[in-house]
Amino acid sequence: VIRCRAAVAWAPGKPLSIEEVEVAPPKAGEVRIKLVATGICRTDEHLLQGCIPRAEFPVIPGHEGAGIVESIGEGVTSMKPGDKVIPLCVPQCGECSFCRNPESNFCQKSHFSEPQNLLPDKTSRFSCKGKEIHHFLWVSTFAEYTVVPEYAVAKIDAAAPLDKVCLFACGFSTGYGAAINTAKVKPGSTCAVFGLGGVGLSAVMGCKAAGASRIIAVDIDKDKFAKAKQLGATDCINPRDFKKPIQEVLTEMTGGGVDYSFEVIGHADTMIAALASCNMSTGICVMVGELDSGSEISIDPTLLLTGRTWKGSVLGGWKMRECIPKLVSSYLEKKFNPDLMITHTLPFAKVNEGFELLHAGKSIRTVLLF
């Protein structure tokens, strides 16, 4: 058993508490990882506010981490102690019908099918002050050590800088893949990205990499426009600068609507606006933002009847175990540069300060170092 620091959420709506926790050794088919760095993602904020369905408290949040294998359980063959790895919040068991489908990146073992609050044997590897602490999506990267099933861990290139590639566990992969995999953006097309946080800016990078000729970035915070342009946006617009709905503005700007739109905020009204801003015949709108659990959206069915396509994307459509190592290799070959999204780097103990920067809109990505 390892004793180490972790940020524990004892109850929804409360700040995280840095505690000494006990981390049990890995059982068969499991890997214990020494975390080196972790990003703060808005999904962690959703968890802390009690908005993630079926999550349980007390819990150690965090799902955007990178680290080094400390020890392995019986039967683990794809990695060994000392390997650099990224734990994955969407597993790839390789056996379910989704994993066997080459077009799917879902897995029957993910939180959408059954909660990942405890490891597959329905026990926790974390305890604090004699109490069992829940895992979050099995990864719980707000801890110096974590235990994860082997099929929810990707071994990556030994040359990868862990304080940068931790973003590949969620933020960068999600936005970039939404453009490349889910929308399949075509060269010469026109795109609109609603929301310029870390995931939205990654979608901008994906649209650029796919060869889009016009990328319109939409946000109510104009301070994010310079970074969006640096990463590939051709136009930046603030909905508050117009008296008409933003979908009308975009339709006029593009002579009928964009070819692809991405909603990367998680608000019902912007999801409808993103769908309506697509051209009515062949436009594709990709839902990337996360709505609070229990939310519903009402839309005019004519928006779809005329030919638009509305799709959702989880973690950018990547089959995580096989694709994340390839993405990291492409990063090392300098094919894209998500480092520009990291606006703050803080010691792990300042995790609550990182969330304050997120709330204030001052950070795009804060990375915590252990």
Average pLDDT over residues 142-167: 98
CB 175 within 8 A of CB 198: yes
The pLDDT of residue 112:
87
208 CB-side CA count, 13 A: 19
| Candidate CATH numbers 3.40.50.720, 3.30.70.20, 3.40.30.10, 3.40.50.920; the one for domain 175-314 | 3.40.50.720
Give strand pairing partners of 275. Answer: none
* pLDDT per position as a tens digit, 57-108: 999 999 999 999 999 999 999 999 999 999 999 999 999 999 999 999 999 9
Residues 6+ apart with CB under 8 A from 251: 257, 276, 277
Other Cβ atoms closer than 10 A to 186: 11
Q: How confident is the model at residue 218 (pLDDT cuts 50, 70, 90)?
A: very high
Burial 157-183 (b: 16+ CB within 10 A, else e): eeebebbbbbbbbbbbbbbbbbbbbbb
User: Crossing angle for the helix pair 246-254 and 268-276, nearest 10 degrees?
Assistant: 20
* Spatial distance between the Cα atoms of 284 and 291, rounded to a whole number of angstroms: 19
CATH 3.90.180.10 in the chain, residues?
Answer: 2-169+337-369
CATH number for region 2-169+337-369: 3.90.180.10
Sheet with 131-133: strands ordered across: 2-8, 17-23, 126-128, 131-133
What element of type H or E holds 285? strand 284-287
Q: Which two tokens stand for residue 20?
A: 């000494």
* Spatial distance between the Cα atoms of 277 and 193, rounded to a whole number of angstroms: 11
The pLDDT of residue 293:
74
- Check pLDDT > 90 for residue 333: yes
pTM greater than 0.85 (yes/no): yes
* pLDDT per position as a tens digit, 199-217: 999 999 999 999 999 999 9
Average pLDDT over residues 112-131: 95
The pLDDT of residue 135:
98
The distance from CA 238 to its chain's CA centroid, rounded to whole angstroms, is 24
DSSP type of residue 39: E
CB 316 within 8 A of CB 178: yes
What phi, psi does 14 have (nearest 5°)? -110, 150
* Spatial distance between the Cα atoms of 7 and 20, rounded to a whole number of angstroms: 9
* pLDDT per position as a tens digit, 259-279: 999 999 999 999 999 999 999
CB 206 within 8 A of CB 185: yes
DSSP type of residue 24: P
Q: Report how far apart, in Å, the C-alpha atoms of 110 and of each of 52, 70, 370 are.
A: 14, 24, 27
CATH 3.40.50.720 in the chain, residues?
Answer: 175-314
Q: Which residue has the higher pLDDT, 328 or 295?
A: 328
Give strand pairing partners of 126. Answer: 23, 133
